[in-house]
Amino acid sequence: MAASVASSAPPASLEGIHRDRLFVASCCALAVSAVAFAVIGDILGALKAQFILDNQQVGYIGGAAIWGFSVSILLLGPLCDVLGMKFLVRVAMVCHVVGVLIMITATGFWSLFTGALVISLGNGLIEAVCNPLVATLYPERKVHRLNQFHVWWPGGIVLGGLASYGLAQVGITSWKVRLGLILIPAAVYIVLMLREKFPATENQASGVSTGEMFKATFTSPLFLLMLATMFITASIELGPNRWIPAVLQSGGIPGILVLVWISGLMAVMRMKVSGPLIRLLSPTGILFCSMILVALGLLMLSRAETGTSAFIAATVFAVGICFIWPTMLGFVSERVPRSGALGLALMGGAGMGVVGLVTSPWLGKIADEKAHERFVAEQPAVVAVLDTARNALRAKLPSVHEDQKADVQRAIDATDKVVTAGASGPLPPIATANAMRAMIGAGVADPAVDRVQAVLGPAENFGGRTSFRYCVPLALIAAVVFALIYASDRRRGGYRVERISGAEGMVGAH
């Protein structure tokens, strides 16, 4: 295996730049995005109950926390060379603080959606800046350093997930307090970023014009293929990850802890294993193996009904998705280097955009449909449980607190419609599950309401788990793409790193 031709010494364009300090600051900024991802995923169940949301609405809120990322990274990422990386980071700071405040003061679906979107805009700006920043700081080790930078995506999820779970365990169950956790790492990266000097981007330092960057990006068949494949890889990584806590929680498994385990394993592997694995398999070999493991992990997750089986499946899934995102970005930066910030922005933006606008709502819709199939299969029992719970709430309505009466009455009204429909025909889709959520969300302690939860929880768990199965064919399609690229590289003598100057460096004859 040939050694890399690149020197580990920083190029002259980085003179006066504290690249290791700036790398640490970038990692802290990425951790904010990850904490936001973990916390918003953890509070979706609470939002669903308090605001009486269906799974598709929850999918849109969870999706907004992703696809807003795409808006900012696609619109502003290509302008890193013009606007400056430091300016974009300052805009991200504002988005993170304002977005949290909007969600905390939300009154319904649209304000929750807006707040999640604004937070996501900030996350996208961090990604838009820090991916080309890391590639610029370490031009000789792009894939390796991007993997290490992206340690702080799963690392931040671990920190945010454990903090959110810990608050719940000590009796602090308010979703607003948990959401406020985002502001803690945000304060840290704000201080760190404001004190550092940013370098010119790699394209700027090499004299590549904006026009040349656009031409190199949109005329490269390899880049366009990787961009299309990013739709798939992002969907199978972030789509199921967004739903794992809510799905497993509905089945009595601490879903946030499964997500923490997935993320912790990913963080360790990216930090300790990425370098040796890149030398052993090459980036395309890593991506092929990852897709096979992802397909297996998703299939196992879709069938996991116990805590043990869920953790085993989550482990396989974690190993599969571990290197996908940073390796995709590193591959594009190394093989199509003149695409610069534009190429990285398109890759990240396309990935997040398809997850937020398509994959997350799609999985939510499948979950709703499959959960409803369980209700239909047991319709007489479901109608009886709802009827009993409705009568129990009616009996308690006069004695509940004044602030609670509106929620109780809304639950009774919603259940009236479902019971009436179910007595003479099929149970109405969406409305049946929403009536159950309204019952539970009304906050009335009664055995009849507990029985509603006993019906809803397993059905939602089944629907969510089944939705994971629909992602398996996507993973296999991506595996074929990476296998073909890997075979092509072998015919050329191995994986080669392209230089902006036109030279090539062979990383290894894989």
List, in order, residues 6 or more apart from 510 with CB less than 8 Å away.
1, 280, 281, 282, 285, 486, 489, 490, 494, 495
Model pTM?
A: 0.74
Is 1 part of any domain? no
Maximum mean pLDDT: which of 196-210, 221-235, 453-467: 221-235
In whole angstroms, give the CA distance from residue 445 to residue 276: 56
Phi/psi at 436 (nearest 5 deg)?
Answer: -65, -45
Give yes or no: residues 175 and 305 share one domain. Answer: yes
Mean pLDDT (the chain, rounded):
84
How does residue 11 score in pLDDT terms, banded at 50, 70 and 90?
low
Q: Which of 343, 352, 278 is nearest to 132 (CA)?
A: 343
Give yes or no: residues 444 and 339 share one domain. Answer: no
Q: What is the pLDDT of residue 252?
A: 64
For residue 405, the tally of other CB atoms under 10 A from its CB is: 14
Terminal CA-CA length for the chain: 8
Domain boundary among 465, 483, 499: 465
Among 39-43, 299-303, 426-430, 476-480, the range scoring the smallest mean pLDDT is: 39-43
Is 416 part of any domain? yes
Is 367 part of any domain? yes
In whole angstroms, give the CA distance from residue 279 to residue 457: 46
DSSP 8-state class, residue 171: T
DSSP 8-state class, residue 12: G
Give yes or no: residues 47 and 79 share one domain. Answer: yes
Give yes or no: residues 233 and 183 share one domain. Answer: yes
The residue ranking higher by pLDDT, 460 or 106, is 106
- CATH classification at residue 113: 1.20.1250.20
Give yes or no: residues 143 and 256 share one domain. Answer: yes
Bridge-based pairing of strands 495-498 and 504-508 is: antiparallel
Give yes or no: residues 394 and 351 share one domain. Answer: no
- Helix (H) / strand (E) element for 507: namely strand 504-508
Give yes or no: residues 267 and 326 share one domain. Answer: yes
Q: What is the mean pLDDT of residues 148-166?
A: 84
Give yes or no: residues 339 and 384 share one domain. Answer: no
Is 13 part of any domain? no
Q: What is the pLDDT of residue 140?
A: 77
CB-based contact 201:132 (threshold 8 Å): yes
3-state secondary structure (DSSP) of residue 8: coil
Give yes or no: residues 325 and 291 share one domain. Answer: yes
Q: Is residue 179 packed enough to be buried (19+ CB in 10 Å), middle (13-18) or exposed (0-12)?
A: buried
Q: What is the pLDDT of residue 5?
A: 36
Residue 111 has pLDDT above 70, yes or no: yes
In whole angstroms, give the CA distance from residue 468 to residue 19: 40
The greatest distance separating any two alpha carbons of the chain, rounded to the nearest whole angstrom, comes to 80
Token readout for 322 is: 């571990």
Q: What is the pLDDT of residue 226?
A: 95
Is 138 part of any domain? yes
Following DSSP, what letter does each residue of 476-501 receive, concatenated? HHHHHHHHHHHHHHHHTTSEEEE-TT
In whole angstroms, give the CA distance from residue 177 to residue 182: 10
Q: What is the pLDDT of residue 369?
A: 92
Q: What is the mean pLDDT of residues 98-119?
A: 93
Cα angle for residues 44, 47, 48 (degrees, 5° grid): 85
How does residue 501 score in pLDDT terms, banded at 50, 70 and 90?
low
Q: What is the mean pLDDT of residues 104-128?
A: 91
Residue 210 has pLDDT above 70, yes or no: yes
Give yes or no: residues 265 and 355 share one domain. Answer: yes
Give yes or no: residues 327 and 291 share one domain. Answer: yes
Q: What is the pLDDT of residue 503?
A: 46
3-state secondary structure (DSSP) of residue 508: strand
In whole angstroms, give the CA distance from residue 287 to residue 150: 16
Is 10 part of any domain? no
CB-based contact 466:301 (threshold 8 Å): no
Residue 388 has pLDDT above 90, yes or no: yes
Q: Which residues partner with 495 through β-bridges?
A: 508
Distances (CA, A) of 462 to 29, 66, 301, 373, 374: 36, 24, 11, 10, 8
Residue 113 domain boundaries: 18-203+212-371+471-508
Among 3-17, 130-144, 162-176, the range scoring the smallest mean pLDDT is: 3-17
Token readout for 132 is: 């080309």
Q: What is the pLDDT of residue 12?
A: 63
Is 45 part of any domain? yes
How does residue 119 score in pLDDT terms, banded at 50, 70 and 90?
very high
C-alpha torsion sign, points 322, 328, 330, 334: positive
Q: What is the pLDDT of residues 252-282, one digit of tens each?
A: 667 667 777 778 888 889 888 888 888 888 8
In whole angstroms, give the CA distance from residue 488 to residue 496: 11
Among 28-32, 60-64, 228-232, the range scoring the smallest mean pLDDT is: 60-64
In whole angstroms, give the CA distance from residue 375 to residue 433: 9
List, in order, residues 6 or more apart from 155 with CB less than 8 Å away.
31, 34, 263, 264, 267
Q: What is the pLDDT of residue 247?
A: 62
Residue 504 has pLDDT above 70, yes or no: no
How does residue 31 score in pLDDT terms, banded at 50, 70 and 90?
very high
Give yes or no: residues 364 and 498 share one domain. Answer: yes
Cα angle for residues 422, 247, 55 (degrees, 5° grid): 50
Total domains in the chain come to 2
Q: Which of 368, 427, 453, 472 is nearest to 60 (CA)?
A: 368
Q: What is the mean pLDDT of residues 486-498?
A: 87
Is 184 part of any domain? yes
How does residue 474 score in pLDDT terms, banded at 50, 70 and 90?
very high
Q: What is the pLDDT of residues 368-385, one digit of tens each?
A: 899 999 999 999 999 999
Chain centroid to CA 478: 19
